[in-house]
Amino acid sequence: MATTLDQTIAQKQHTWLTQIVSSQTFWVLIAVVLACIFLSMATDSFATSKNLYNITRNFTFVAIIALGMTMVIITGGIDLSVGSVLCLCSMVLAVTMHAGYSIEVGILASIGTALVIGAFNGFLIAYLGFPPFVVTLGMLSIARSLAMVASNNTVVFEFGPDHNLLLDLGGGAWLFGIANPVLYMLVLALLTGFVLRWTRFGRHIFAIGGNEHAATLTGVPVRPLKVAVYMISALSAGIAGIVQTGWLGAVTTNIGAGMELNVIAAAVIGGANLAGGVGTAFGALVGAALIEVIRNSLGLLGINAFWQGTFIGGAIILAVLFDRIRNFRQSD
Amino acid sequence: MAVLELQNISKHFGAIHAVSDVTLSLEPGEVVGLMGDNGAGKSTLVKMIAGNFRPSHGTMRLEGKELVMHRPVDARQHGIEIVHQDLALCDNLTAAANVYLGRELLIGFGPFGVLDYASMYQRAAQLFKELKSETRPRDLVKQMSGGQRQAVAIARTMLSKAKIVLMDEPTAAISVRQVAEVLHLIRLLRDQGIAIVLISHRMPDVFTVADRVIVMRRGRKVADKPIADSSPEEVTGLITGAIEKV
């Protein structure tokens, strides 16, 4: 019997079940769930609402930036400057508000800073052909130094007339007792997921990561899009910085130090491929969650904190191992 | 009427004369084999037709109107499609996504449009059916055979009403059976009245499918004659320079 056009169109290489089972994000999610079940039984302190509140809030900052990072990684790039950009944006917000300006002005200044830095990174990478690693490594150094210059390397903990509003923005729980940062993260994740799956912009950044030359030849505006993804990455760091400032209630020039590595780890654990062309918003959240659960559980189980790096590093390698095994199977 | 006419086209890169004084025309529904050794100026000539380079001298006319292009995208808007040698496919995307790459269909208005998956799958499936290819719109290009990849690249040229399709070495590096498939696809395009320029090193392919052969040597056109009046021996002689000009 001849197949109709509709049957051909409906034909997929995987059913939804095999699709899910073959995805790295799924297995990482299983790992997170299993770890949570195990910890709830093994300790009294894990499944308390206070601890869960802490975990969800702690991983949001990494998760929010991992969303932006995932976009950069999908294009085949990398952004090492996010930790420092977070610090600079927090500091710009803090210094502006400390000087007596309203929270709106502070947030605008902070987000403006992030966008300028992202545009600078993106311009050098897209138009002048700099390697992303080098440009953002330079920016890692520059942004933190500028944060020190802006604050004269002091701790800022008084935020002018809108002090309480800022603390509430980052530290409050406006909806059903869910910490505000978690709400922001969920909204941003939904937005990112939508953009990646349903917009031309999303389709094009996957194309750039898959075959940049092909994207150029088919008329995809590769250079402007690359600038845009580095701006989004810096923006995600800026947003995380603003929220974190409100949560901590104080800014020092060492916040976000080394954070870029956690962010990249979260994206990669969640299934983003550093070679480009692969990644999801949901994966970024799951990856960030796994890292936080590992951190939290080691503390609760009374394991020496020095072991943390080993476990997180092991998780990175294990997560990518799944991907490798799948590829070996496919190439057979 | 000729669909494309080149008149005294030259391209210089500094002191290097990549293409000198080439005049040629293409008729609708005609397959022209463009042959020549490496460095003979084939790719430069094709890149001018594709809008990658602007000629240093001479004029191009598309259906009688002068054609000036600044970017490769302009060529597409004028109905000139290119199948690149490496096919320009993204392995991480589906067949339909590759067909529509750079001109995705949207539902909704302006910047708020979302991708119209249903229509793109539908149209891509139709194109593959026309090409008698077993390619399915949702398949990832990563897992496709060489022939299927060619079908995806060729389906791309059929999205809009193309007048001219330039094919750069479409039969290099694929299996014998797949070569036959590609030559079949070329005939399908020709039967739709599209003019095809087939750039190839492979003599048998050109002599199987082309109506006319143009030979380039050192930037100049040294032959332009119907396939029926030529022979592989003559073309080889023209490419190497053993035969000066016909």
B138: nearest CB among A12, A207, A278:
A12
Q: Does residue A15 register a pLDDT over 70?
A: no
CB contact under 8 A, B125 and A5: yes
Average pLDDT of span B233-238: 90
Q: Distances in Å between the alpha carbon of A130 and those of A120, A122, A123, A222, B130? A: 11, 9, 9, 15, 44
Provide the shortest C-alpha distance from residue A228 to chain B (in Å). 15
Q: Which residue has the higher pLDDT, A227 or B76?
A: A227
For residue A277, give the chain B residue with the closest CA. B92
Q: Which pLDDT value is given to residue A218?
A: 85
Instruction: For residue A219, give both structure tokens.
Output: 């008329």
Q: Which of A47, A76, A249 is nearest to A166 (CA)?
A: A249
CB contacts of A213 in chain B (<8 Å) are 86, 88
Q: Would you list which residues of chain A are within 8 Å, Cβ to Cβ, of chain B?
A: 5, 8-9, 11-13, 197-200, 203-204, 206-207, 209-211, 213-215, 217-220, 277-278, 330
Instruction: For residue A14, give both structure tokens.
Output: 């995987």
Provide the shortest C-alpha distance from residue B143 to chain A (in Å). 9
For residues B155 and B85, give the distance between their C-alpha atoms in angstroms, rounded to a whole number: 15
Q: Which of A66, A96, A94 is nearest to A82 (CA)?
A: A66
Q: Does residue A26 register a pLDDT over 50?
A: yes
How many of the other CB atoms lie within 10 Å of CB of B173? 9
Choosing among A191, A218, A329, which should be mutated to test the B contact, i.e. which has the most B CBs within 10 A? Answer: A218
| pLDDT bracket for residue A279 (50, 70, 90) | very high
CB contacts of A219 in chain B (<8 Å) are 72-73, 76, 102-103
Answer whether B52 touches A (CB < 8 Å): no
CB contact under 8 A, A8 and B136: yes
- Residue partners of B228: CB distance under 8 A and separation at least 6: none
Q: Which pLDDT value is given to residue A121?
A: 96
Answer whether B160 touches A (CB < 8 Å): no
- With beta carbons less than 8 A apart as the criterion, state whether B213 and B206 touch: yes
Provide the shortest C-alpha distance from residue A5 to chain B (in Å). 7
CB contacts of B148 in chain A (<8 Å) are none
- With beta carbons less than 8 A apart as the criterion, state whether A78 and A261 touch: no
Q: Distances in Å between the alpha carbon of B19 and those of B56, B215, B218? A: 9, 12, 8
- With beta carbons less than 8 A apart as the criterion, state whether B139 and A13 touch: yes
CB contacts of B69 in chain A (<8 Å) are none
Give domain limits for chain B: 1-79+161-246, 89-160
- With beta carbons less than 8 A apart as the criterion, state whether A130 and A124 touch: yes
- With beta carbons less than 8 A apart as the criterion, state whether B88 and B81 touch: no
Name the average pLDDT for chain A.
88
CB contact under 8 A, A198 and B114: yes
Q: Does residue A329 register a pLDDT over 80?
A: no
Q: For B74-87, write each residue's pLDDT tens digit.
A: 888 899 998 888 88
Q: Distances in Å between the alpha carbon of B86 and those of A217, B91, B150, B226? A: 11, 12, 10, 29
* Topology (CATH level 3) of domain B1-79+161-246: Rossmann fold (3.40.50)
Tell me the whole-structure pTM to 2 decimals. 0.88
CB contacts of A207 in chain B (<8 Å) are 90, 93, 97, 101
Average pLDDT of span B42-61: 89
Instruction: Give the best-scoring range by mean pLDDT among A27-41, A68-82, A261-275.
Output: A68-82
For residue B119, give the chain A residue with the closest CA. A9
CB contacts of A198 in chain B (<8 Å) are 114-115
Tell me the ipTM for this assembly: 0.83
Q: Which pLDDT value is given to residue A14?
A: 61
Average pLDDT of span A85-110: 93
CB contact under 8 A, B137 and A8: yes
Q: Does residue A6 register a pLDDT over 50?
A: yes
Q: Across chain B, how many H-helices and E-strands are there? A: 8, 12
| pLDDT bracket for residue A1 (50, 70, 90) | very low
How many CB pairs (< 8 A) connect A and B?
88
Which class is A54-331 in CATH?
mainly alpha
Give domain limits for chain A: 54-331
Report the relative pairing of strands B212-217 and B220-226 from DSSP bridges. Answer: antiparallel
Q: Which residue has the higher pLDDT, A119 or A9?
A: A119
A230: left (phi over 0), alpha (psi -120 to 50) or beta: alpha
Provide the shortest C-alpha distance from residue A329 to chain B (in Å). 13
- Long-range contacts made by residues A144-149, C-beta under 8 angstroms, separation at least 24? A144/A83, A144/A84, A144/A87, A144/A88, A144/A253, A144/A257, A146/A88, A147/A84, A147/A87, A147/A88, A147/A90, A147/A91, A147/A92, A147/A253, A148/A253
For residue A276, give the chain B residue with the closest CA. B92
B115: nearest CB among A198, A207, A215:
A198
Instruction: For residue B136, give both structure tokens.
Output: 């399915």
Q: Which residue has the higher pLDDT, A107 or A318?
A: A107
The runs of H, that is alpha helices, within A199-257 are: 200-210, 212-217, 222-248
For residues B136 and B129, give the distance between their C-alpha atoms in angstroms, rounded to a whole number: 9
CB contact under 8 A, B126 and A5: yes
End-to-end CA distance of chain B: 25
How many of the other CB atoms lie within 10 Å of CB of B160? 12
Q: Distances in Å between the alpha carbon of B9 and those of A19, B5, B14, B19? A: 53, 10, 16, 7
CB contacts of B75 in chain A (<8 Å) are none
Average pLDDT of span A289-294: 90
Answer whether B246 touches A (CB < 8 Å): no
- Residue partners of A18: CB distance under 8 A and separation at least 6: none
CB contacts of B73 in chain A (<8 Å) are 219
Average pLDDT of span A69-98: 95
Report the relative pairing of strands B164-168 and B80-83 from DSSP bridges. Answer: parallel
Helix (H, G, I), strand (E, B) or coil at B68: coil
